Structure 1
């Protein structure tokens, strides 16, 4: 063991491992420094829980001479036999260290022993990584050294786990903040907020295609069904749109009851307005098909659903709006107002997809001119277009 190198490593961790630029690079450099200090590591794993609606945790796996593997697990891991029979379950739930010597018969209760033996591993130790907030995450350390880890090497791993946990906690908190912002306000808005746009008045103008939709008959639906059922229906209904919106370059900004507001940014300098609007139309057609196939069993009946979406293109004001220290990152402007009015017209016409003259003019083909309609709050009537393949339905 090289005590001087271990001290340098400890100092590097206390300093935040600032010579690295990413979590995977931090993991790689940390393990490489440990090996250089005399720790005979073969495989190292760091397992961190996260605050995410779909992802239970992330894992980082290092092996000498290989790229760090980054993986995720969903909440089903808690029900899997692999987790229940793993030393990591003890670490996560009890915060205890677990050592598994491959040649110790008592450790045969862990199925992982057979995998370790096949890999040539002689010793495995799982160490808790306690965070200041009280949660406990986990790390695993293996070696192929004959006889396993020595007492001195184990002591070194235990002493390094504490500063390592601090750095991982900082990285984890930063990622969690970004993930929560992404979950609740969207990726682009989250990036801006994390970048410092947190004051009222921090806004910018942006050219974008605008998507505004709602579920037909939602008021009557919510009046006759239990609230839990309505929430479940809404979640499935929004799933029909969000996947298509994200896959085609859009970002959901807001849910308003059964309403959904999304934007598809247009780069004016690249001149991709036509491409963006084409992708928006594709997303609308996919959502129309998904909602049409959505059915929900309620008692002996099956509920079917219809929705409407208005598409427009124009300039919007995008940023922080609100009062005091309670802000909302959203978009406003005449273009958004017109999209909202068009969505109401779509409902009146019993249309699924309608578009403004501006949107239909950019994304040509497949439209039927539905005529001009007075628009509340606007001095001029708006010409409205519907998809030609909905003519018979109208």
Structure 2
């Protein structure tokens, strides 16, 4: 009988039996939920085979917009596996450049071994002296290669007198191909989720990964719709350098988007300097709570923008103004597009109306406007107050629309 990857009592393999661990890695290890679980199970299995492993560190490079690599640190003493996120730019830090991992990942080294109990200062790498002071007797580090040459690294430390045996090191080296193949599978799985979360949103990404990728699939969703747009962006785009314009847009979308996601909304798309998002209704009766979360998000976004504007003004840079519209309605949420290019989005009259209401923000010189349907969900005297500002014509509709303003 095989043992699941997270079973607390893996069967004891034969000493230095690389084949059995490779089979486990390829047959069961690849089903581990994440790299953390795989590293923990892998190290425990090495101990069960008689490898005197006291510590293990894996540096796994990622394709991620914010993260350069993940570092996993395992210790035999029972402490929980430590996971460290290394952001982009960390590869230029002194701590990284003076480590064996820089030599393995950046400089193309294949492997290295330092019998610490037979060495003394000066140490080739500072970490070796630190490990020796903590009782380590031997250190080995090896490159873990992915297809296409992408490099990662793993290190092994023992505290046994005499260090690792020749059989120990041969076993570790023999396991690297299988370990690398499984880690690459887990990294690709994480990359797929990251790309989808980043470009289509977490909830939509989960739908796509679950197999909902056919054109025309979708569902009717009742939700609060959010649409925001910058005021005067065209003039800014004409006179600002490209880099400054992109930085300005990123700051604006950060203030809007982060607030929406903090309060349970999901960004659907960025359209130039505009953003469309939804706050789906869940259990029946929570519509007022959802509408209030959308108003909280608007207030938070504008507070963040005010701080950004103060900083920009202090540096003599242009400040930003925006309009935010909130509406409630039923939309079709699904997979729409051509045969080769699809988009998960929402369509329906409610989407058109929320964008038209946002257009009134500029015309009426208001910052946050809502529809009457939205306003009816928010009880007067709550933590936000909406004032009626009358009925107004909007583009594309023959009649007028009643709108309300958030009192800031």
Q: Point out where structure 1 has 5 or more consecutive residues left out of the alignment.
A: 390-394
1:134 to 141, 146, 149: 149
Give the aligned partner of residue 120 of structure 1. 135
Cα pair 1:6 1:34 within 8 Å, conserved: no
Q: What secondary structure does 1:184 align onto?
A: helix
Is 1:292–2:311 an aligned residue pair?
no
Q: CA deviation at 1:301?
A: 3.9
Give the aligned partner of residue 200 of structure 1. 215
* Per-residue deviation, residues 346-366 of structure 1 (Å, max 9, x unmatched): 111111111111111112331
1:154 to 155, 169, 177: 169
Cα pair 2:70 2:84 within 8 Å, conserved: yes
Q: CA deviation at 1:271?
A: 2.8
Give the aligned partner of residue 285 of structure 2. 271
Give the aligned partner of residue 392 of structure 1. none
Cα pair 2:34 2:186 within 8 Å, conserved: no
Please give the alpha-carbon distance, in whole angstroms, between the structure 2 residues aligned to 1:107 and 1:47. Answer: 25
Q: CA deviation at 1:146?
A: 0.8
CA 1:83–1:10: 2 relative to 1, 3 Å: same
Give the aligned partner of residue 210 of structure 1. 225
Cα pair 1:354 1:387 within 8 Å, conserved: yes
Q: CA deviation at 1:4?
A: 7.0
CA 1:301–1:62: 2 relative to 1, 3 Å: closer
CA RMSD, 1 decimal: 2.0
Please give the alpha-carbon distance, in whole angstroms, between the structure 1 residues aligned to 2:122 and 2:39. Answer: 28
Is 1:9–2:21 an aligned residue pair?
yes
Is 1:68–2:81 an aligned residue pair?
yes
Stretch of structure 1 that moved more, 341-350 or 295-304 = 295-304
Cα pair 1:126 1:141 within 8 Å, conserved: yes
Stretch of structure 1 that moved more, 334-343 or 12-21 = 12-21
Q: CA deviation at 1:18?
A: 5.2
Q: What secondary structure does 2:366 align onto?
A: coil
TM-score by length of 2: 0.90
Please give the alpha-carbon distance, in whole angstroms, between the structure 2 residues aligned to 1:22 and 1:297. Answer: 42
Matches within 5 A, 1:93-108: 93=106, 94-103=108-117, 104-105=119-120, 108=123
Is 1:370–2:384 an aligned residue pair?
no
Give the aligned partner of residue 39 of structure 1. 51
* Per-residue deviation, residues 269-326 of structure 1 (Å, max 9, x unmatched): 3532112211111110111122233237699843111101001112121121111111
Is 1:89–2:102 an aligned residue pair?
yes
* Per-residue deviation, residues 9-28 of structure 1 (Å, max 9, x unmatched): 11111224256444322222
Cα pair 1:5 1:36 within 8 Å, conserved: no
TM-score by length of 1: 0.93
2:91 to 59, 78, 97: 78
* Per-residue deviation, residues 352-382 of structure 1 (Å, max 9, x unmatched): 1111111111123311101112233345422
CA 1:100–1:359: 2 relative to 1, 3 Å: farther
Give the aligned partner of residue 236 of structure 1. 251
Please give the alpha-carbon distance, in whole angstroms, between the structure 2 residues aligned to 1:4 and 1:224. Answer: 67
Please give the alpha-carbon distance, in whole angstroms, between the structure 2 residues aligned to 1:229 and 1:299. Answer: 16
Cα pair 1:288 1:352 within 8 Å, conserved: no
Stretch of structure 1 that moved more, 291-300 or 375-384 = 291-300
Please give the alpha-carbon distance, in whole angstroms, between the structure 2 residues aligned to 1:302 and 1:18. Answer: 51
Is 1:387–2:403 an aligned residue pair?
no
Q: CA deviation at 1:70?
A: 2.2
Cα pair 2:16 2:167 within 8 Å, conserved: no
Please give the alpha-carbon distance, in whole angstroms, between the structure 2 residues aligned to 1:11 and 1:332. Answer: 49
Please give the alpha-carbon distance, in whole angstroms, between the structure 1 residues aligned to 2:393 and 2:206. Answer: 39
Q: CA deviation at 1:191?
A: 0.8
